[in-house]
C-alpha cells in the first residue's frame, strides 16, 4: 500500500478509539514500538475536550491520564498543554489525593487489619526462629519471654546504634550482656553464641512490640479523635507502627477500598469519567484490578478506562504485562457483571526502516506484525557481529567496544554519524562515560544501599539523587559556572537585592579564579576555603555579603552564619572543614557525636567513613565533569552516547549499537545465551512455567532495545556464540565476525 493509504488506515484506527469513547466502551490500545502511542493517547484526550467539554464542566469532572513515572507525567503535560479539565499524574498521586479526601474510618480499619496480619506473621517467624535455633531456647521460655521483651524495649536504641556502627561480634556481645538484668544474663549469654540469630530474634521481638503498641493505640483512641493514617511518598518501605505506609501498600489499600466500599467507587467514577493509563504493561496488577472493579460498578456509557501500551515492552517485574484480559475474565467470573475491553491494534510503525521492523516482528512473534507507515522506508541496516575466536578477553571489553564503534563511525559521509550505544549495566555505562572510579568509590563508601545505587547516583531527576550525591553535584556545577566564560554574575549570585555591587561580586570571582587550577574536588574545596579566608581578612561587610549570596545560590548553605549560630565553639572552622567534616559527613553517615559511649569504636568507624569521603573527593576532577555531563544529559552533542537497555525505554535514535553477552551482571548468568538457545525454527519461545518467565523478560528487554533504532542497528556479542549461532541466525541471517586490533 502507498503512504497515503496507510495514513488513511491509521486514521481509521484512531477513529475506532473515538467511537469507543462516544459509546462509553472501555478499550485497550495495543501499539508496538514506534506506533505513535503517546500521540494517540493525547489525541484521545483532545477528542474528549473537543466533544465532551460541556459535560465535564457541568459535572465538575476531569479526564485523568495515569503514567508510570514523573518523567512521563512531564512529557505528556508538555505535549498536551495545560487544561483545568485534564489531570496528568502517577497512579499513587491520584489515589492518595482521593483517599485523603475520603479519610478516615475505612482507611483506619484497613490499617488495623494489616497490623493484625503482620502481628500474626511476626509471631510465626518468632516461633520458627526459636524452634530452629537451640541457642534461643532459654530466652524464649515462658519465664524469660517477658523479661526479654522488656530488655528489647529498654535497649533497642543501643542495639541499633551498635548495628549502625558495625560493632565487632565480641564488642556487641559484651555490650548486650552488660545491659541485661542478672536473671536474664545466663539465657542472653547462650543466645549470643549465634550473633546472627540473636539479632534477627531481637528485631522480630521489637517489630512485634511496636506493631502491638500501634494497634493498641488505634483501638484505645477516642472516637472523636480518629488516628491519622498517612501515605509516605518518599519511602519505599512501610512504617506501619508509625501509621505510615509506602507505594505498594497504597495500591493494596486502594484496591480494598474500591472492592469493599461502593462509596469509594462512586467517588472515583464521578470525579473521573475518563481514565487513561499509559504504558499499561508496566502498571501494577492491583491497579488493573481496581479499574476492572470500577468498570463493573459504573453505569454503562458514563465511565470508561483506556489502556495504551505494548505487552512486549514489559521489562519490569512489577508490571502486569499481558495479563490484563485474564484479570478481566477473573473479575467477570465473580458474577456481578461481565466486563470487556475493546481491543484496538495499531500496526503501523512510524519510527523505523523496514529492516528494523522485520527484525522486531521476528523477536515479538505474536499477532501484532508491524509494517512501516511509509513503504519507501527500505534503507535501514541490521547486522549481528560476534568476536573472532579467542578475542573475548573480559578485561578488554571497553577497548573492543571502542574499536567496534570506531569501525562503524566512518561509514556515512562526512564522518558525522552519531551512535547511541546500549550496555547492560550501569557500571559499564559509568566506565564508558569516563567516571568508573567515581562509581566504584561511592559504591565502596556504602552510604547508599546497593539496590538504590544506580537510581541515587545516576538519576537525571535531581531530587532522586542521594542528598550527599546532590551536594557533590552542586559542587561540580559551581566549578563549571566559575569556569564558564558565558556565566553571568546573576547566575553565580542570584538576586542580591542590591546588597552586593557588581564590583564586590566581581572581586570574589576574581579571587576564586586566582587559585591554582584544581585537579580534584578536594582541591576545589580548599581553593574556595582559601579565597573566603582572604576576603574575610578584609573585614568588608559588603564582600562578606557577596560570599554569603554566592554560597547560598550555588550550594544552598549559610556559611559562616550557621557555624556562629549553632556551633559557636567552632566559629573559626574553615569552609573546607565545615563542608567536608560536617555537611558531607552528615549527608552520608549522620552526624559525628563524640559524646556517645564506646568512643574508641566510634572513632574507628568515623575514621573509616572520613577515609571514604577523602577517597571520593580525591578522584580526578575530569571524572566528576563527565558524571555531571551524564546527569545533565549534555552527552547529546557527543558522537557516541551510552545508555543501559532499561534507560532507553520510550526513546528512539537513528543509529543504535547494542552490546550483548551471555550474562546480565553477576546475578543473571546465561540470561541471553538461554534466550537464544530457547528459540525454535520460527524464532518463537514458549513460556511453559514460572521458570520460563525469565525467557519472556529477556525477550521483552531485547525487543525494547532493538526497537529503539530508526535506521541502523548493529549488535556485538562479546561471548563465544558457537553453541547458539544457528539460533541467532534464525533472527539475523548471516552472523558477521569482528576482529579487534591487538594492542
- Note the pLDDT tens digit of each residue in 163-191: 766 677 888 899 999 999 898 999 999 99
Q: How far apart are CA 36 and CA 6, in angstroms?
A: 14
For the segment 430-459, what is each residue's pLDDT rounded down to a tens digit? 999 999 999 999 999 988 888 788 888 988
Question: Is residue 572's pLDDT more than 90?
Answer: no
Question: Distance of CA 292 to CAs 223, 275, 281, 283, 569, Å?
Answer: 34, 12, 15, 13, 63
Annotation: binding site:
31-38
pLDDT higher than 90, residue 52: yes
Does the pLDDT of residue 473 top 90, yes or no?
yes
What per-residue confidence (pLDDT) applies to 566? 46
- In order of 260, 299, 326, the CA distances from 331 in angstroms are 14, 17, 9
Q: Read out DSSP for 1-62?
A: --HHHHHHHHHHHHHHHHHHHHTT--EEEEE-TTS-HHHHHHHHHHHHHHHSHHHHHHTT--
Q: How far is Cα 282 from Cα 583, in angstroms, rounded to an integer? A: 38
Q: For residue 688, is pLDDT > 70?
A: no
In whole angstroms, what is the distance from residue 563 CA to residue 320 CA?
A: 52
Please give the pLDDT value at position 596: 34
Between 371 and 532, name the one with better pLDDT. 371
Lowest mean pLDDT among 58-67, 110-119, 512-521: 512-521
pLDDT of residue 98: 85
Q: What is the pLDDT of residues 314-335, one digit of tens each?
A: 888 778 888 899 999 999 998 7
Higher-pLDDT residue of 682, 378: 378
Alpha-carbon dihedral sign for residues 400, 406, 412, 418: positive
Note the pLDDT of residue 105: 80
Residue 685 has a pLDDT of 60
Give per-residue pLDDT as tens, 242-297.
888 888 899 999 999 999 889 899 999 999 999 999 999 989 999 999 999 999 99
Mean pLDDT value across the chain = 85
pLDDT of residue 273: 96
Q: What is the pLDDT of residues 77-132, one digit of tens each?
A: 888 888 899 999 888 888 888 888 765 688 888 999 999 999 999 999 999 999 88
Span 52-62, mean pLDDT?
95
- State yes or no: pLDDT of 597 exceeds 70: no
The CA radius of gyration of the chain, in Å to the nearest whole number, is 30
pLDDT given for residue 700 in this prediction: 93
Spell out the alpha helix ranges (H) of 497-540: 502-514, 521-538
Map grid coordinates 495514513 to a residue.
Answer: 7
Q: Where are the domains of the chain?
A: 3-103+246-349, 105-220, 372-418+639-738, 439-628
pLDDT bin (cut points 50, 70, 90) of residue 568 is: very low
Mean pLDDT value of segment 616-632:
94
> What's the confidence (pLDDT) of residue 533?
78
Cβ–Cβ contacts within 10 Å for residue 127, how many?
12
| Residues that constitute the known binding site for ATP | 31-38
| Among the ranges given (86-95, 345-354, 534-543), the one the predictor scored with the smallest mean pLDDT | 534-543
| Per-residue pLDDT at 162 exceeds 90 | no
Is residue 567 pLDDT above 50, yes or no? no
Average pLDDT over residues 612-633: 93
pLDDT of residue 639: 85
Backbone angles phi, psi at 358, to 5 degrees: -60, -40
For the cut 60, the answer to whether the pLDDT of residue 529 exceeds it is yes
Is the model's pLDDT at 633 over the cut of 80? no
| Average pLDDT over every residue of 380-407 | 84
pLDDT cut 70: percent of the chain above it: 87
> Does residue 367 surpass a pLDDT of 90?
no
Task: Examine the pLDDT at 593 and tell me if it is beyond 50.
Answer: no
Kindly provide the residue ranges of all beta strands, DSSP E only, lying in 359-475, ordered along the sequence: 371-372, 381-387, 419-423
pLDDT, position 539:
55
Residue 611 burial (CB count, 10 A): 11
pLDDT at position 393 is 61
pTM of the model: 0.81
In the chain, the N- to C-terminal Cα span, in Å, equals 52
Q: Which CATH number fits domain 3-103+246-349: 3.40.50.80, 3.40.50.300, 3.30.70.250, 3.90.226.10?
A: 3.40.50.300
d(CA 132, CA 13): 62
**What's the CA gap between 384 and 713, in Å, rounded?**
8
- pLDDT tens by residue, 694-721: 899 999 999 999 999 999 999 999 999 9
Q: Is the pLDDT of residue 540 over 60?
A: no
Amino acid at each position: 500500500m502507498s503512504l497515503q493509504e496507510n495514513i488513511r488506515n491509521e486514521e481509521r484506527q484512531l477513529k475506532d478509539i473515538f467511537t469507543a469513547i462516544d459509546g462509553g466502551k472501555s478499550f485497550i490500545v495495543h501499539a508496538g514500538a514506534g506506533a505513535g502511542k503517546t500521540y494517540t493517547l493525547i489525541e484521545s484526550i483532545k477528542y474528549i475536550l473537543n466533544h465532551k467539554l460541556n459535560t465535564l464542566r457541568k459535572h465538575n469532572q476531569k479526564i485523568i491520564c495515569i503514567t508510570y513515572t514523573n518523567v512521563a507525567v512531564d512529557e505528556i503535560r508538555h505535549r498536551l498543554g495545560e487544561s483545568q479539565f485534564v489531570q496528568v499524574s502517577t497512579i499513587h498521586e491520584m489515589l492518595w489525593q482521593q483517599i485523603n479526601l475520603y479519610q478516615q474510618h475505612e482507611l483506619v480499619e484497613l490499617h488495623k487489619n494489616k497490623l493484625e496480619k503482620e502481628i500474626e506473621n511476626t509471631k510465626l517467624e518468632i516461633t520458627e526462629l526459636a524452634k530452629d535455633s537451640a541457642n534461643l531456647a532459654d530466652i524464649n521460655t515462658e519465664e524469660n519471654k517477658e523479661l526479654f521483651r522488656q530488655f528489647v524495649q529498654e535497649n533497642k536504641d543501643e542495639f541499633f546504634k551498635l548495628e549502625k556502627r558495625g560493632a565487632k561480634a565480641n564488642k556487641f556481645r559484651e555490650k548486650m550482656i552488660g545491659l541485661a538484668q542478672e536473671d536474664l544474663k545466663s539465657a542472653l549469654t547462650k543466645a549470643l553464641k549465634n550473633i546472627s540469630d540473636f539479632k534477627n530474634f531481637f528485631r522480630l521481638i521489637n517489630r512485634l512490640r511496636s506493631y502491638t503498641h500501634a494497634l493498641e493505640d488505634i483501638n484505645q483512641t477516642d472516637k472523636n479523635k480518629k488516628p491519622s493514617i498517612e501515605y509516605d511518598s518518599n519511602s519505599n518501605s512501610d512504617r506501619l507502627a508509625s501509621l505510615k505506609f509506602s507505594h505498594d501498600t497504597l495500591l493494596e489499600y486502594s484496591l480494598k477500598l474500591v472492592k469493599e466500599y461502593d462509596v469509594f467507587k462512586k467517588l472515583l467514577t464521578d470525579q473521573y469519567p475518563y481514565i487513561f493509563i499509559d504504558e499499561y504493561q508496566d502498571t501494577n496488577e492491583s491497579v488493573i484490578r481496581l479499574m476492572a472493579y470500577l468498570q463493573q460498578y459504573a453505569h454503562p456509557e458514563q465511565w470508561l478506562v483506556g489502556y495504551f501500551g505494548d505487552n512486549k515492552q514489559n521489562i519490569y517485574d512489577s508490571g502486569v504485562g499481558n495479563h490484563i484480559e485474564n484479570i478481566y475474565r477473573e473479575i467477570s467470573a465473580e458474577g456481578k457483571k461481565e466486563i470487556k475491553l475493546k481491543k484496538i491494534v495499531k500496526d503501523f510503525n512510524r519510527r523505523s526502516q523496514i529492516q528494523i521492523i522485520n527484525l522486531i516482528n521476528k523477536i515479538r512473534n505474536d499477532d501484532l506484525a508491524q509494517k512501516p507507515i511509509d513503504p519507501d522506508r527500505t534503507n535501514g541496516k541490521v547486522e549481528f557481529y560476534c568476536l573472532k575466536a579467542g578475542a573475548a578477553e573480559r578485561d578488554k571489553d571497553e577497548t573492543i567496544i571502542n574499536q567496534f564503534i570506531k569501525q562503524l563511525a566512518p561509514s556515512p559521509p562526512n564522518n558525522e554519524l552519531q551512535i547511541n550505544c546500549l550496555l547492560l549495566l550501569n557500571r559499564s555505562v559509568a566506565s564508558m562515560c569516563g567516571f568508573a572510579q567515581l562509581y566504584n568509590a561511592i559504591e565502596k563508601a556504602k552510604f547508599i544501599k546497593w539496590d538504590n545505587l544506580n537510581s541515587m547516583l545516576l538519576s537525571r531527576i535531581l531530587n532522586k539523587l542521594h542528598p550527599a550525591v546532590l551536594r557533590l553535584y552542586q559542587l561540580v556545577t559551581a566549578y563549571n559556572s566559575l569556569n564558564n566564560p558565558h556565566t553571568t554574575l546573576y547566575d553565580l549570585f542570584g538576586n542580591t537585592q542590591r546588597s552586593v555591587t557588581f564590583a564586590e561580586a566581581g572581586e570574589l570571582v576574581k579571587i576564586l579564579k586566582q587559585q591554582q587550577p584544581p585537579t580534584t574536588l578536594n582541591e576545589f574545596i580548599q581553593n574556595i576555603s582559601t579565597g573566603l579566608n582572604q576576603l574575610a581578612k578584609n573585614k568588608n561587610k559588603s564582600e562578606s555579603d557577596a560570599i554569603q549570596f554566592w554560597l547560598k545560590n550555588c550550594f544552598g548553605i549559610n556559611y559562616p552564619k550557621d557555624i556562629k549560630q549553632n556551633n559557636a565553639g567552632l566559629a573559626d572552622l574553615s569552609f573546607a572543614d565545615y563542608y567536608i567534616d560536617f555537611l558531607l559527613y552528615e549527608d552520608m553517615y549522620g552526624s559525628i557525636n563524640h559524646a556517645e559511649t564506646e568512643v574508641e569504636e566510634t572513632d574507628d568507624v568515623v575514621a573509616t567513613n572520613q577515609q571514604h569521603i577523602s577517597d571520593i573527593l580525591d578522584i580526578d576532577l575530569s571524572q566528576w565533569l563527565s558524571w555531571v555531563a551524564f546527569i545533565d544529559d549534555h552527552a547529546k552533542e557527543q558522537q557516541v552516547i551510552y545508555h543501559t537497555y532499561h534507560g532507553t525505554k520510550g526513546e528512539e535514535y537513528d543509529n543504535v549499537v547494542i552490546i550483548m553477552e551471555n550474562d546480565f551482571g553477576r546475578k543473571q548468568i546465561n540470561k541471553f545465551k538461554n534466550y537464544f538457545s530457547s528459540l525454535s525454527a520460527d524464532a518463537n519461545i514458549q513460556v511453559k512455567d514460572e521458570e520460563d518467565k525469565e525467557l519472556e523478560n529477556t525477550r521483552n528487554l531485547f525487543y525494547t532495545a532493538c526497537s529503539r533504532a530508526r535506521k541502523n542497528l548493529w549488535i556485538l556479542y562479546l561471548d563465544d556464540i558457537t553453541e547458539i549461532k544457528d539460533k541467532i541466525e534464525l533472527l539475523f541471517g548471516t552472523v558477521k565476525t569482528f576482529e579487534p586490533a591487538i594492542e
